[in-house]
Amino acid sequence: MTISVRRMDSELRQDFYRLHNEANGCGWCCCAAWWVPTWAEFSANSAEQNRRVRDSLFDRGEYDGYLGYMRDEPVAWCQVGPRDRLEKLTAQYQLAPDPRAWAITCFLVAPGHRRQGIAGELLAAVINDLRERGVKCVEAFPRRGAHLEEDDLWTGPEALFTTAGFGISREHGQRPVLRLDL
């Protein structure tokens, strides 16, 4: 399976929403989770409120991710950007400021395209692009547990990152921090 990967920009805004919809199980979120100040506020948001958060990010030029395509259809998304811009993330994981660190915070493959290697292809393309852009390191925040559901894997499965060379930066039973030096 080979996908093409494009860094998010203003021309891809509609493709972002073609992927982030109810049919793919993510129409409510719109990849706004880390941008809303608290989990309680995010959980209370409606789909329209989260879309407004995402629209405001796009409107101010925050194109924080990559889309993966099969032919002309967006089938995968990876949210990634400078880590310290996400105050909720740094607070939740008690991360010391590190302006060199980037964070992969969300991963989505459309349900009909899962278990085909698309996530690995997308991650490899993201890592290559980050290297070319001079990013020094990237971190990931997968969930761990014996009984995780697909909905629990929205930050990406741990095996996806370890297969790509990420190592454990900070151990935690359910929420480790993984890191890859580029």
Task: Give the chain's mean pLDDT.
Answer: 92
Both tokens of residue 156? 């990406």
In DSSP terms, which residues pair with 73 in a beta bridge?
A: 70
Instruction: Express each pLDDT in 103-132 by its tens digit.
Output: 999 999 988 888 889 999 999 999 999 999
CA distance 5 to 88: 28
Provide the greatest CA pair distance for the chain.
Answer: 41
Superfamily of domain 4-181: Gcn5-related N-acetyltransferase (GNAT) (3.40.630.30)
Tell me the mean pLDDT in the region 42-65. Answer: 95
Q: Is the pLDDT of residue 82 over 70?
A: yes
CA distance 70 to 8: 16
pTM reported for the whole predicted model:
0.93
Distances (CA, A) of 123 to 39, 42, 115, 140: 26, 26, 14, 11
Q: Is the pLDDT of residue 154 over 90?
A: no
* pLDDT at residue number 39: 93
Q: Report the SS3 class of residue 111.
A: helix
* pLDDT at residue number 67: 97
